[in-house]
Amino acid sequence: MSASTIDMVTPRQEPLRRRYREKPEQAQIADHARAANIDRDPFHGAVVAGDGEVSLGFGIHRAIGGDHDLLNPGDMLCAALAACLDSTLRMIAARMGVALKTLAVEVRAFADVRGCLVVDRQVPVGFQRIDVDVLIEADEHTDPAQISHLASTAERCCVVLQTLRSDIAVDTRFRGPAPIASAE
């Protein structure tokens, strides 16, 4: 991580930190994505993510009948966690003045797909475990205690990681010309 990278975080974040202290309501944000793929086969589609209208093609995992020829939703979940933790680590390192030589974040999510395919109703639908492996190397003059502080702070500040660890409410509303009852 270069000195210019270290110097770019504080000027961008410090005014925001001040503003959010003074006006906490301005710190409330909403990210979003949309999928509308009625004209596609059920094993492929696209989601439009964020304000930039970035379209991400997706495919479905071969373990449930897809071709796995594009990112699948599980890959996207892993990518979201890897991206969030990577950027959180780099921003905090920059604020701390820690020059990173190496940073690699690898995320693997494990699921038993029998639940998804309704092969066994006793098997939960969803990932049963997510492993995150982070390789951090700083320059040789960095105190190991700083690296430990960096890691624990990033773990605490990574929005996606903390969301996955929490018991977040997810409200699903199905709409149509007639009322649609949800399973939950």
- 179/74 Cα distance (integer angstroms): 30
Q: Is the pLDDT of residue 117 over 80?
A: yes
Residue with tokens 């492993």: 131
* Tens of pLDDT, residues 59-110: 999 999 999 999 999 999 999 999 999 999 999 999 999 999 999 999 999 9
User: What is the mean predicted confidence (pLDDT) over 124-131?
Assistant: 96
* Tens of pLDDT, residues 14-37: 999 999 999 999 999 999 999 988
Q: Is the pLDDT of residue 38 over 90?
A: no
Domain 3-29+72-165 top-level CATH class = alpha beta
> Exposed, middle or buried by CB within 10 Å (0-12, 13-18, 19+), for 79?
middle
All structural domains of the chain with their residue ranges: 3-29+72-165, 31-71
∠ Cα 107 133 135 (to 5°): 125
